Structure 1
Amino acid sequence: MRHRVRRFVLLGTALLTAAATASPAPAADQDRSERHPSHGGLSATIRYTEYGIPHILAKSYADLGFGTGWAQAEDNVCILAEGFVTLNGERAKYFGAGGKAPDGSLSSATSNTSSDLFFRGIKQAGTVEKLAELPPPRGNRPEQKKLVRGFAAGYNAWLKQNRITDPACKGADWVKPVTELDMSRLAFALSVLGGQGRAADAIVSAQPPATGAKGPQDTSAQDKAKAARELFATDDGAMGSNAVAFHGSTTANGRGLLLGNPHYPWQGGRRFWQVQQTIPGELNVSGGSLIGAVTPSIGFTPYAAWSHTVATGVPMNLHQLTLDPADPTTYLVDGKPRRMTKRTVTVEVKGGAPVTRDQWWTEYGPVVTSLGAELPLPWTATTAYALNDPNASNLRASDTALGFAKARSVKGIQEVLRTTQGLPWVNTIAADAKGHSLYTQSQVLPRITDEIAARCSTLLGKVTYPTAGLAVLDGSRSDCGLGRDQDALQPGILGPSRMPTLVDAPYAENSNDSAWLANADRPLRGYERVFGNIDTPRSMRTRGAIEDVAAMAARGKLTVADLQRQQFANRAPAGTLGAAEAAKACAQLPGGKATGSDGRAVDISGACKVIERWDRTMDSGSRGALLYDRFWRGMRAQLGPQGVWTVPFDPADPVRTPHTLNTASPAFARALADAVTQLTAAGIPLDGRLGDHQYVVRDGKRIPIHGGTESLGVWNKIEPVWDPKAGYTEVSTGSSHIQAVGWDGSGCPVARTLLTYAQSQNPNSPHSSDQTRLYAQEKWVTARFCEKDIRRSPELRVVKVKERGRS
């Protein structure tokens, strides 16, 4: 075995030398090698360094895709396989009718049956096949198609040549080979997550009313507006992110800096996976890929670095249909009837009869009967609602990612965004080695202008558009169609010239609020409401982030080490603003008691000093952090995000307002009593260390987790799962693939990374929790990007993988 490992290392050294010296292959030769791979078919060399991070070396795009598919299967075959079951509409067939995907990673469907009806309908209609046949620029570019072909081949070769050790799918009959089309279906599902995927249940359950039947009771427009605001809220504890780019004028060496901190699920199909991909002379990129993606979703090169944050742009709109009184499946446009298209979809169910359901489609998109549980859209004898999702015509996000990997500057990244127009629901924050910074909200959004909304909104739309950015247009008028921007790749979307963009600001930051305060000193205005709001309260996380990064920029002479300190400062802005007032008001409660939500009097006297002494951070060693966390959640739940303060929001001072804790409200004492009760019931001391009671269990051992929830405003966001008997015992979403990147002029990026939940979800993998332990210690991985650094790795392991066997 020792000789075999040495042989791999020697082979790797030769390949590394070749990679460092090779020049780009002529285009014709490269294309010939991909069409007619020699001997054993596709192949790649995978160099593993510390923490199981693969550095994939290949001679062509197809070979690079092959190595990537292989390596992803090695780490996360069960996640991939379950995703393909979902995309083929076979969850109920294998897992039963009532369950659902563990994290809703590919749609919001609330049951396996609903998910299957949704995805089987897409498959039955040939939706993805049609998009895959589009020529560029509307469709995927040749290099991207080769990557996809290679990935499918790599995944299949891994299945054929290896045994599965992950108990999640070991021996399962639903783990099967895949096709290029399966990969494209995955790209489609990710693209429509914010549109059709969000409405999966509503699409498959929408049925026309029976003749003469009374329609369901509708809710008021105001109630719907409130529901729409909640539906598209960015401070609800779900997926989000922080990212900041610093201009060279603020850094120690005049080069740019980037800190990316996406907050994604810790389990399931939206996990990140670390990789470096290299085609000598053609491509060299490192970063985090969403599982199933063929290139890094966020990452860095010798020239530039970028990250994404979930954007406030609303990637869908509704068309309110006027129906033919004699037929609720016929709608009128300019007084002329148009028939809906019926899709009849049948799915298999384990242990039960097949389920058949009709879906109804219009020229605008599918008919829906709700958007989320709180936003009903009843289909009556006279009215129905159709959902328009422009990303249902977009498979270009992967072209955008590949373009970023090849861009040599912030300007190049902007050009990629302009020419691919592929990002469905994220902002882009970037920096480059020349010192430039960028924030841009370049999304694929429906072409909803404020003028169209003013002219064509229904009564409902007149409320939902200004409050939530959700347009509801009159579908009975052809002059209310979305039209086409001259610079847009597809009809019905906003063109690149309309995108909110900030270039070369001292800092450019986003924490999931709108573009307005990407830099508080250079606010962005003048964009359409569909992108997001202005002059409205920012989330606590945005406020804290702007305070922090503005102070960093003002201090100047920044380095990568400053980015690392910011990531794990763990400051809780809600504590900075409110803890002193809470402690003072607590001490003044009569008799040291307060009445909880259950009506019982609780001794809270011990809590006052704990809150007063709390250091206002969510570090693992912080005492009082957990008490304030539970108190803060309870008070916000009763009063709302703005009701917890007495000094209201001021658009002229958006970072520092609102403020002053509303301690006079009965909700204050009640929340305090409830927090004490909760900790006591869980056996947690009021001054217990956060890390003793906020943790995950891996390999049978507790790993303390620092960081805090969305509403506390902590940059290092963690959404822990509360167990009333034990405290926070798992993490649902939060800091994931973190990268702090700069350049020193050597040609090698200066990068520190951390994948908080590690490379693999397989508990039998040596890389299922190694980086989680690093995260607990606030330590980082020094990225091995250049060949000399890869070669020096003490854990270097080189594997040659082939379509017909590996060496």
Structure 2
Amino acid sequence: MSLRTRTRSCAVAAVALLTAATALSPTASADPGGAELRPSGGGLSALIRYTEYGIPHILAKDYANLGFGNGWAQANDQACTLAEGFATVRGERSRFFGAQGKPDGSLSSASTNLASDLFFRGIRDAGTVARLMARPAPVGPGRQVEELMRGWTAGYNAWLKQNRVTDPACRGAAWLRPVTLSDVHHLNYSFSVLGGQGRGADGITAAQPPSGAAPRTAATDPGEAARRFFDTSDAAMGSNAVAFSGSTTANKRGLLLGNPHYPWSGGRRFWQSQQTIPGEINVSGGSLIGSTTVSIGHTARIAWSHTVATGTTMNLHQLTLAPGDPTAYVVDGRPEKMTRRTVTVQVKDGAPVTRTQWWTRYGPVVTGLGAQLPLPWTTTTAYALNDPNATNLRAGDTALGFSRARDVNGVQEALRRTQGLPWVNTIAADSSGGSFFSQSQVLPRITDELAQRCSTPLGRATYRTSGLAVLDGSRTDCALGSDRDAIEPGIFGPSKMPTLKNAPYAENSNDSAWLTNADRPISGYERVFGSYGTQRSMRTRGAVEDVAAMAGRGRLTVADLQRQQFANRVPAADLTVDEVVKGCEDLRLGAPCDVLRTWDRKTDTGSRGALLFDRFWRALLPSVPAASLWRTPFDAADPVRTPRGLNTAAPGFATALRGAVAELRAAGIPLDAPLGRHQFVVRGGKRIPVHGGTESLGVWNKVEPVWNAAGGGYTEVTTGSSYLQAVGWNGGPCPVAKTLLTYSQSSNPVSPYHSDQTELYAGEKWVTSRFCEGDILTSPKLRVVWARER
């Protein structure tokens, strides 16, 4: 008997034994002792079958054991990245990496390690997460999610105990150590508050009462400042997703293409797995590392993806301070003292740092939202930040609900029941032909009526441009109130969420819900959800053009989704390149005009002229006012085709084009160089060409690399296409699914799974999902691990 045959035989036997055990054993109960470092109570295990590209298929008898296998397998691929994340949420970055070092931005927007530590240490010292975990479901997390977290903690710790860490990023580091169940809770909590308190971390931790020194100057144009702060077009997270209904497909079943744009390094990486409890749950997809459920994925009957939503996930309350006491504020004529929280952080090679944070009934006092929007704390006025996701630890229950849904109605029901998604839209399709979109996210319950009635002068400027409400905190009649179907007060209920079901296509590219389907626009929602009747991004315009044309052609298959993902069409070029060439000729620039004329208007690795247009376009947009850029302005009645007609006479056009030509020539890069020669990443000393294009170009396959002319061009990718999935069904028991994890499964440079899928991405190739047992057990790369506590 060959080794491969013996491996498969053992795997089959193990599956049979585990399935039998599942039928006989109830779900493990929580450890009554609650020991932090041994949360399992001992004896947890899972069967992990690895197939091509290091993808684990985790099989367990119940949720605690499934969590164990998940934690074990994640540690195997991402030990150092996870360990750094745990150091972050423990508030220990200053201790290990120095106070003035900079976090990678994965878990908050803090600009220094010290600010990050003060923020996360303050959450921990206040016992915030422990109180949330103690709340009964559905307001708090359900029992099965708690079991997954308990098992995940034990699995991560068991892997560390039984294996040698080879990743040089943390091998032998003091901050690589076992974690507690509380650490895992705090890591998952950090995902919830990313768009709220986490986004205001600097302003929260720097807020101090006025001391006589001049406060920060207020923004001269607060509406524009707020717009820039909440503008997600160049943010680290974005995404495209489209669901097609059965009316557009070859077999009348649904199709889904998910293309999330997430960081390529750090704590917001996706990690791929299949998670199975026989007879209970069977789901495959990508998880944010450190989370215990599948974030984006598919089952035998449904597939879903997410896109970062336009909902404004926080609001401000402007406080009227009590005379003579800047740490007391007035509500309905009565003074109310702020709560003082003292936080101490250990610092590497230095004395501990102690700071005070100030909290109100509305949330923490904040003295700014980034550098864009200062919020001065004076003797008369301060601002408090309300983040409704600061009481939300339900995202795991929502994801688990998706994993158990049988169709898009089940997806909608999971959203209604759990109300746990903090900052994303959901797009889904099912094997019966259903399609679905919903902006079901946890948002502060800011109605347009409330904003009109209670906005301060600052709020009247910011609400219109960004959806950021600044309410009068001195009046209880300006409280957020409650919807009857909301899971808790102060947030919108499911009936208020922009939703579209069973349209021929439902697409989102990080604009608001308005043009989810251009033939069935969604409107009437409150401003805090986003705008409608306003100009769309170049990526949205290109995406709607593409998917509407696909739906119009009909008879779609998974192969059509794959072609769309790597079409690499440049919508900005299709709109403008003829005019750019004419403007170039008018300037008598010669060679660059010929290069742009013959360019294929794509960002394939072999596209010649893509790099020149890219550098020109990046220089042009910030140098020309939006009102001067186009000859035909935006028209809400024609939102996909307008604005159009590039104004080559605009100040800045000639400068941007000449500058791009000079830049490439100074770097020794030919104007007609193939894109992939100068847009690449390096893995193991090897250049891997990268196709795709930046946000401003409107390319579906988005990448945001770092320009380094001395290093040969774009030498790293910070964010972009990440966990890709193209999913359909053919009527059999197994879905038809193609996946790709662009940056590969492991961040460990010595792992064989550090760059293998990145090379597939460079070649525009996919991985065929091994979902059914027969597919898993016939993998030529099958490797079986029985992970267990010892």
TM-score normalized by the length of structure 2: 0.97
- Give the distance between the partners of 1:56 and 1:8, measured in 2 at CA: 16
Aligned residue number for residue 592 of structure 2: 607
Given candidates 639, 653, 662, the residue that maps to 1:668 is 653
Q: Residues 228-270 of structure 1, C-alpha deviation per residue, up to 9 Å, x if partnerless?
A: 1111113225310000000000000000000000000000100
Q: Secondary structure at the match of 1:703?
A: strand
Given candidates 239, 247, 250, the residue that maps to 1:249 is 247
- Give the distance between the partners of 1:490 and 1:22, measured in 2 at CA: 41
Q: Residues 458-510 of structure 1, C-alpha deviation per residue, up to 9 Å, x if partnerless?
A: 00111111111000000000100011111111110011100000000000000
Deviation at 1:15, TM superposition (A): 3.0
Q: Residues 189-208 of structure 1, C-alpha deviation per residue, up to 9 Å, x if partnerless?
A: 00000000000010000001
Q: Secondary structure at the match of 1:686?
A: coil
Deviation at 1:622, TM superposition (A): 0.2
Letter in 2 for 1:180: L
Letter in 2 for 1:130: R
1:301 has 2:299 as partner? yes
Deviation at 1:329, TM superposition (A): 0.5
Aligned residue number for residue 653 of structure 1: 638
Aligned residue number for residue 285 of structure 2: 287
Aligned residue number for residue 696 of structure 1: 681
Q: Secondary structure at the match of 1:775?
A: helix
Letter in 2 for 1:505: A
Aligned residue number for residue 29 of structure 1: 26
Aligned residue number for residue 788 of structure 2: 802
1:330 has 2:313 as partner? no
Which residues of 2 match residues 215-364 of structure 1 at below 5 A? 215-220=215-220, 223-364=221-362
- Give the distance between the partners of 2:654 and 2:235, measured in 1 at CA: 24
- Give the distance between the partners of 1:665 and 1:485, measured in 2 at CA: 49
Q: Secondary structure at the match of 1:368?
A: coil
Letter in 2 for 1:260: G
Aligned residue number for residue 9 of structure 2: 10
Aligned residue number for residue 599 of structure 1: none
Q: Residues 736-787 of structure 1, C-alpha deviation per residue, up to 9 Å, x if partnerless?
A: 0000000111110100000000000100000000000000000000000000
1:709 has 2:685 as partner? no
CA contact (8 A) 2:366 2:384 kept: yes
- Give the distance between the partners of 1:163 and 1:641, measured in 2 at CA: 55
Deviation at 1:39, TM superposition (A): 11
1:399 has 2:400 as partner? no
Aligned residue number for residue 743 of structure 1: 729
- Give the distance between the partners of 2:43 and 2:626, measured in 1 at CA: 58
- Give the distance between the partners of 2:162 and 2:567, measured in 1 at CA: 45
Describe the shift of the 1:345–1:40 C-alpha distance in structure 2 as closer, same or farther (beyond 3 A): closer
CA contact (8 A) 1:203 1:359 kept: yes
- Give the distance between the partners of 1:536 and 1:121, measured in 2 at CA: 40
CA contact (8 A) 1:635 1:644 kept: no
CA contact (8 A) 2:545 2:640 kept: yes
Deviation at 1:147, TM superposition (A): 0.4
Aligned residue number for residue 200 of structure 1: 201
Deviation at 1:627, TM superposition (A): 0.1
Deviation at 1:218, TM superposition (A): 2.3
Q: Secondary structure at the match of 1:305?
A: strand
- Give the distance between the partners of 2:778 and 2:667, measured in 1 at CA: 48
CA contact (8 A) 1:33 1:60 kept: no
Q: Residues 315-351 of structure 1, C-alpha deviation per residue, up to 9 Å, x if partnerless?
A: 0000000001210100000110000011111101101
CA contact (8 A) 2:219 2:225 kept: no
CA contact (8 A) 2:367 2:376 kept: yes
Deviation at 1:33, TM superposition (A): 10
Given candidates 404, 411, 414, the residue that maps to 1:413 is 411
- Give the distance between the partners of 1:47 and 1:191, measured in 2 at CA: 31
Deviation at 1:14, TM superposition (A): 1.7
Given candidates 42, 45, 54, the residue that maps to 2:44 is 42
Q: Secondary structure at the match of 2:752?
A: coil
Aligned residue number for residue 704 of structure 2: 719
- Give the distance between the partners of 1:33 and 1:270, measured in 2 at CA: 29
Aligned residue number for residue 117 of structure 2: 116
Aligned residue number for residue 77 of structure 1: 79
Q: Residues 11-58 of structure 1, C-alpha deviation per residue, up to 9 Å, x if partnerless?
A: 212234567x769737x7334699899997000000000000000000
The percent identity for this pair of structures is: 67
- Give the distance between the partners of 1:499 and 1:276, measured in 2 at CA: 30
Structure 2: tracts of 5 or more residues without a match: 34-38
Deviation at 1:454, TM superposition (A): 0.6
Deviation at 1:793, TM superposition (A): 0.4
Deviation at 1:605, TM superposition (A): 2.1
Q: Secondary structure at the match of 2:241?
A: strand
Deviation at 1:213, TM superposition (A): 4.8
TM-score normalized by the length of structure 1: 0.95
Q: Structure 1 stretch 236-245 or stretch 250-259: which is displaced more?
A: 236-245
Describe the shift of the 1:38–1:182 C-alpha distance in structure 2 as closer, same or farther (beyond 3 A): closer
1:437 has 2:435 as partner? yes
Aligned residue number for residue 779 of structure 2: 793
Describe the shift of the 1:769–1:666 C-alpha distance in structure 2 as closer, same or farther (beyond 3 A): same
Aligned residue number for residue 163 of structure 1: 164
Which residues of 2 match residues 60-209 of structure 1 at below 5 A? 60-102=62-104, 104-209=105-210
- Give the distance between the partners of 1:773 and 1:472, measured in 2 at CA: 48
CA contact (8 A) 1:396 1:422 kept: yes
Which residues of 2 match residues 670-689 of structure 1 at below 5 A? 670-689=655-674
1:764 has 2:750 as partner? yes
Which residues of 2 match residues 631-650 of structure 1 at below 5 A? 631-640=616-625, 643-650=628-635
Letter in 1 for 2:141: N
Describe the shift of the 1:640–1:49 C-alpha distance in structure 2 as closer, same or farther (beyond 3 A): farther
- Give the distance between the partners of 1:495 and 1:613, measured in 2 at CA: 53
- Give the distance between the partners of 1:249 and 1:5, measured in 2 at CA: 44
- Give the distance between the partners of 2:366 and 2:146, measured in 1 at CA: 33
CA contact (8 A) 2:217 2:374 kept: no
- Give the distance between the partners of 2:65 and 2:398, measured in 1 at CA: 20
Deviation at 1:641, TM superposition (A): 5.0
- Give the distance between the partners of 2:391 and 2:15, measured in 1 at CA: 41
- Give the distance between the partners of 2:563 and 2:285, measured in 1 at CA: 20
Aligned residue number for residue 515 of structure 2: 517
Describe the shift of the 1:338–1:618 C-alpha distance in structure 2 as closer, same or farther (beyond 3 A): same
Aligned residue number for residue 714 of structure 2: 728
Deviation at 1:637, TM superposition (A): 1.3
CA contact (8 A) 2:109 2:200 kept: yes
- Alignment RMSD: 1.7
- Give the distance between the partners of 2:28 and 2:94, measured in 1 at CA: 42
Q: Residues 131-157 of structure 1, C-alpha deviation per residue, up to 9 Å, x if partnerless?
A: 010010011111110000000000000
- Give the distance between the partners of 1:327 and 1:3, measured in 2 at CA: 81
- Give the distance between the partners of 1:17 and 1:155, measured in 2 at CA: 26
- Give the distance between the partners of 1:235 and 1:29, measured in 2 at CA: 48
Letter in 2 for 1:733: T
Given candidates 588, 601, 613, the residue that maps to 1:628 is 613
- Give the distance between the partners of 1:744 and 1:656, measured in 2 at CA: 36
Q: Secondary structure at the match of 1:522?
A: coil
Aligned residue number for residue 574 of structure 2: 576
Q: Secondary structure at the match of 1:332?
A: strand
- Give the distance between the partners of 1:189 and 1:237, measured in 2 at CA: 18
- Give the distance between the partners of 1:613 and 1:213, measured in 2 at CA: 61
CA contact (8 A) 1:642 1:658 kept: no
Aligned residue number for residue 526 of structure 2: 528
CA contact (8 A) 1:110 1:201 kept: yes
Deviation at 1:724, TM superposition (A): 2.4
Aligned residue number for residue 36 of structure 2: none
Aligned residue number for residue 595 of structure 1: none
Deviation at 1:665, TM superposition (A): 1.3
Deviation at 1:584, TM superposition (A): 1.1
- Give the distance between the partners of 2:784 and 2:690, measured in 1 at CA: 33
Letter in 1 for 2:199: R
Letter in 1 for 2:57: H
1:388 has 2:374 as partner? no
- Give the distance between the partners of 1:775 and 1:79, measured in 2 at CA: 22
